[in-house]
Chain A
Amino acid sequence: MSVIQGRVLVEGSAAGAALTSTEPLSFWGGYDQFTGEVIDRRHPLSGADAVGTVLVLPASRGSSTTAAVLLEAIRRENAPAVIITRGTDRFLTLAAIVAHEMYDRTIGIVSVDADGFEQLLGAGQLEVTPDGQITRPD
């Protein structure tokens, strides 16, 4: 078991299945807000159902529409429960902040440093507390 302290960008918590990748993901063109599936066919997580998971990515990529796609996914409850990034990702953070301001509902966004990120790769399960403590049981 390992425990990592992340930095909370938007407060949230989860305990359950994790999806991890070293590849950044553009949510626009890469995440289906109506189903929660990763649809970037060039991405290693292509085909994965990310609803309710702890999604670990280095960052989002490319399109500035990523924030809008994640906002819609949160609104439809098709978003991951928590997204952990290596450093601050403003696209994902913004979507969670706007969801909170508009719908009083959001997901957790937590950043970790490069070492912490390495320790999360390949995790099958992760637990994240509202204060940003991340536990990897395996």
Chain B
Amino acid sequence: MTLHLSEQDRAFLDGKHGRAGRFAMSILVRMAEAQGATAMLDITGAHIDSTVYQGEATLEFAEHLAELGGQVTVPSSVNVSGVDPEGWREWAVPEDWAMKAYRQMQAYQSMGCTPTWTCAPYQTAMRPRFGQQIAWGESNAIAFANSVIGARTERYPDLMDICAAITGRVPALGLHLDENRRGELLMRLVDVPIEIQRDDTFCTVLGFLMGQIAQERIPVIEGVEILPTEDDLKMMGAGGASAGAVALFHIVGVTPEASTTATAFGGREPEETFDIDLATLQRARRELTTNDRDTVDMVALGSPHFSLAEFERLAPLLKGRRKHDNVEFLVTTSRMMRALAEQAGLLEPLREFGARITVDTCILTTPMLPESITQIMTNSAKYAYYSPGLLNARVAFGGIADCVETAVNGKVSRDERVWGAGA
């Protein structure tokens, strides 16, 4: 197995497209060799997750590429950064962190990236189209682009996504190739009541379960009787990419490469079949909750970043009400989505409720929360999965209406009529 490089690839390696091009291509070629690729292919878009400041190394990497004259050669959106440049002083972000995270943002902007600063780039004008070859970072965005849109991307690590954006090339492997996009295992919903499926946490819980079961394989889900919204599918992908490494899932009758179960499997048999009943979903939902007391310090919404449709759903729930003094109520989103929500008149009820909005980043990627916040309520499987390790915080999971009730009452308040007590 030898890697065949095009003339253009060699030109990059020889430094004919500048020093950054040589640096980026040499990393891509070493990766292609490690993964056993035999060729490279062209991409026409990228989403850069390397923007997340994780310490000196990520900043040095970004500034190194920028100093070498790196410029992206395909349209490239950027993921969340390590700081909200406007709002960080209102929170516990250390000044040194803010300055360095901001420098890292500047480095990526100087390389020609479009300043989207969001983990939901599929809800911006940079959304790819069906069949488009792209190099995306950010696990939830990868799952959405592949599964819901039918674009083609591997799970790109931070640092590699920008190399792909600079050269416009990636190893021809994995989910870029049609033959690797077929389903591998079947998850069959069995007797899952329609009122459960209509609940706004259903797709989130199903996504979390999908991650646990599938790990890095491609699941096909059969038996979904509702038409999930884009936000439902976004929450599902985020759950699957947190609890597992799901980069592509098919839902029969919903996602574009799964008009039928046979199509989703490309004519092959599933490697394994899992029956998912109500009890399985209730167990998964329970696992998202790790809190050890009834009171909460914060309600956090917006992972992945809150959309306009989610602001439309939230605003009437808050109208005329006020959160409890002991609870912070935070929504994380992009600056563009915040502006759209403002224009639509959806932010006034949030302000009156006492809610705060953080843009360009999220609670997991910037050290904004004071140590006093140890109990969080959220509707996000991603926040629920990562908060214990990253924030040393425990989480109560519930729907968006439960989150609002909890913020008003100051303690976990869940409507248990649909899911049953304790789920």
Contact = CB atoms under 8 A, between A and B. Distances in A.
Interface stretch (A32-40, A116-124, A130-138): A32-40
Interface in A24-58: 24, 26, 28-30, 33-34, 39-42
A68 B62 CA distance: 11
A59 B138 CA distance: 17
Interface in A12-27: 24, 26
A28 B26 CA distance: 25
B135 to A, nearest CB: 11
A57 to B, nearest CB: 12
A112 B244 CA distance: 21
A91 B157 contact: yes
B1 interface: no
Contacts, number: 123
Contacts of B64: 102
Contacts of A34: 55
B55 A64 contact: no
Nearest to B29: A97
Interface stretch (B31-39, B90-98, B261-269): B31-39
Q: Which of A10, A30, A90 has the largest count of B CB atoms less than 10 A from its CB? A: A90
Contacts of A88: 34-36
A93 B161 CA distance: 14
B30 A68 contact: no
Contacts of A64: 49, 137-139, 142, 155-158, 161
B21 to A, nearest CB: 14
Contact of A101 (B27, B137, B139): B27
B34 A9 contact: yes
Interface in B128-171: 137-139, 142, 154-161
A29 B34 contact: no
A90 B31 contact: yes
Interface stretch (B228-236, B336-344, B382-390, B397-405): B382-390
B187 to A, nearest CB: 19
B31 A29 contact: no
A68 B244 contact: no
B57 A75 contact: yes
B242 interface: yes
A48 B388 CA distance: 16
Contacts of B364: 29
Contacts of A71: 54, 57-58, 61, 159
Q: Which of B23, B55, B157, B215 has the largest count of A CB atoms less than 10 A from its CB? A: B157
Given A67-B159, A95-B157, A90 B34 contact: yes
A64 B155 CA distance: 7
A97 B54 CA distance: 18
B101 interface: no
Nearest to B391: A29
Interface of A: 9-10, 24, 26, 28-30, 33-34, 39-42, 59-69, 71-72, 74-76, 88, 90-91, 93-95, 97-98, 101-102
Interface of B: 23, 26-27, 30-31, 34-36, 49-50, 52, 54-58, 60-61, 64, 137-139, 142, 154-161, 211, 215-216, 241-245, 364, 385-386, 388-390
9 contacts: A10-B34, A29-B364, A67-B159, A90-B157, A94-B157, A95-B157, A97-B27, A97-B31, A101-B23
